[in-house]
Copies of this chain bind each other. A is one copy, B any other.
Amino acid sequence: MKSGAATRRPTMKDVAAVAGVSLATVSRVVNEVPVDPELASRVHDAVARLGYRRDAAAAGLRRANRSSRSLGLILDDVSNPFFSAVHRGIEDVARERGVLIFSGSSDDDAAVERQLATSFSAHGVDGLVVVPAGSDHRYLERERTAGVALVFVDRPPQRILADAVLSDNVGGIRAAVAHLEAAGHRRIGYLGDRSRLFTATERLAGFGGDPALVRMDLIGSEAAEGAARELLTGSAPPTALVCGQNQVTIGALYALRALGLQRRVALVGFDDIPLGGLVSPGVTVVAQDPAALGRHAAELLFARLAGDDSPPRRIVVPTRLIARGSGELLPD
């Protein structure tokens, strides 16, 4: 006899047989529908004896609303700290409701996003939380009419009307600029990432400063470092820098250090960077609240699932300026 012999998982039928009741009664007990206490306890005993647990897939199959008590989460990258914090925010509210989460990374690829969405949907998720990669989400219309709730996070959906939870990109960058201007800065440079991204263009809009001091489409910290060096070594260089994204901030930081300017040129980054307090001067940032983004998205989703059919909402989560030194340097 092989030791790893597969033992069949007990079913309701098995429980019914052991408890000496009908299948339907077991179902009632399991679903907490009132039942004669005597029978109920026999069922509970049998459940415990057999180690029975309901098959969620089979249960959802016949259930009226076909709910699977699960939802799908499509992130840019599950291992990116910003998105994994969003993930956690969603998990916390889903957990309270006993809802499980399928998660996946689109790597900002529209085809992957779509493939994940349809896979999740095929697995019967009740709702989808999406950080959009594509620029056309009409394909999700079909899922929605089939009853799948839809909420977008961090970036708005396109060509479909649906709920979205966003950071206050414009307000955050405005706050950064105002902070620098209050310190007396008049020549402020802006470094941003891929302008095809919603967040990048929003932040640039929030900047609204001298276009000659703007550098966009900086992908990765090396590109940002190069652009920062170029800006800082040019004629009439800025006395302060605003960075529109994490990696861009890091690149700018390296540039400032390389040029020995880290205590002469002010810097405010958008999105917090880990250990921003450990370098000197500390890195002043406009921090987002990714966990709050996730929590709001999940709450919106569950409200929709509960029947809320008011017009699509857009929730904007405020940012917060954290002064650590680099943003408080005065102009020459």
Q: Give the CA-CA distance A200 to B58 in the complex, in Å.
A: 43
Question: Does A51 sit at the interface, judged by CB under 8 A?
Answer: yes
Indicate which residue in B60, B81, B101 contacts A84 across the interface (CB closer than 8 Å): B81
Q: Which residue of B lies closest to A58 (CB)?
A: B61
Q: Which residue of B lies closest to A274 (CB)?
A: B274
A69 and chain B: residue at smallest CB distance: B123
In the complex the two chains form, is B55's CB within 8 Å of A122's CB? yes
A123 touches B91 (CB 8 A): no
Nearest chain-B residue to A53 (Cβ)?
Answer: B122
> Can you name the residue of chain B whose Cβ is closest to the Cβ of A51?
B142
Partner of A6, one of B8, B56, B145: B145
| 0/1 string, A21-58, CB within 8 A of B gives 1 | 00000000000000000000000000000010111111
Q: Is A1 an interface residue (CB 8 A)?
A: no
B142 touches A102 (CB 8 A): no
**Bound Cα distance A147, B8 (Å):** 8
Q: With an 8 A cutoff between CB atoms, is A201 at the interface?
A: no
**Secondary structure of the A contact surface, majority rule:** mixed
Given the contacts A146-B9, A275-B250, A279-B279, A100 and B120 also touching, CB distance less than 8 Å: yes
Q: Which of A121-167 contact B (CB under 8 A)?
A: 121-124, 142, 145-147
Asked if B102 contacts A100 (CB within 8 A), the reply is: yes
Chain A, 246-266, CB within 8 A of any chain B CB: 250, 253-254, 257
State the Cβ distance, A116 to closest chain B Cβ, in Å: 8
Chain B residues whose C-beta falls within 8 Å of the C-beta of A78 in the assembled complex: 78, 84, 87-88, 91, 103
Are B123 and A100 closer than 8 Å at their CB atoms?
yes
Whole-angstrom CA separation of A118 from B100 in the bound complex: 11
Q: Chain B residues near A7 (CB, 8 Å)?
A: 142, 145-146
Q: Which of A78, A98, A100 has the most CB of B within 10 A?
A: A78
Smallest CB gap from A291: residue in B: B79
Measured in the bound complex, the distance between the Cα atoms of B279 and A274 in whole Å is: 12
Check if B54 sits within 8 Å of A57, measured CB to CB. no
Most interface-central of A122, A147, A257 (chain B CB within 10 A): A122
Question: Do B105 and A309 touch (CB < 8 A)?
Answer: no
Q: Which 6 A-B pairs have the closest CB atoms?
A: A79-B88, A57-B57, A84-B84, A7-B145, A274-B274, A9-B146
- 10 A-B pairs within 8 Å (CB atoms) are namely A5-B145, A57-B60, A57-B61, A57-B68, A78-B84, A79-B88, A91-B105, A95-B104, A250-B278, A257-B278
Inter-chain pairs besides A84-B87, A91-B105, A101-B104, 5 sampled, C-beta below 8 Å: A57-B60, A58-B61, A250-B275, A254-B278, A278-B279
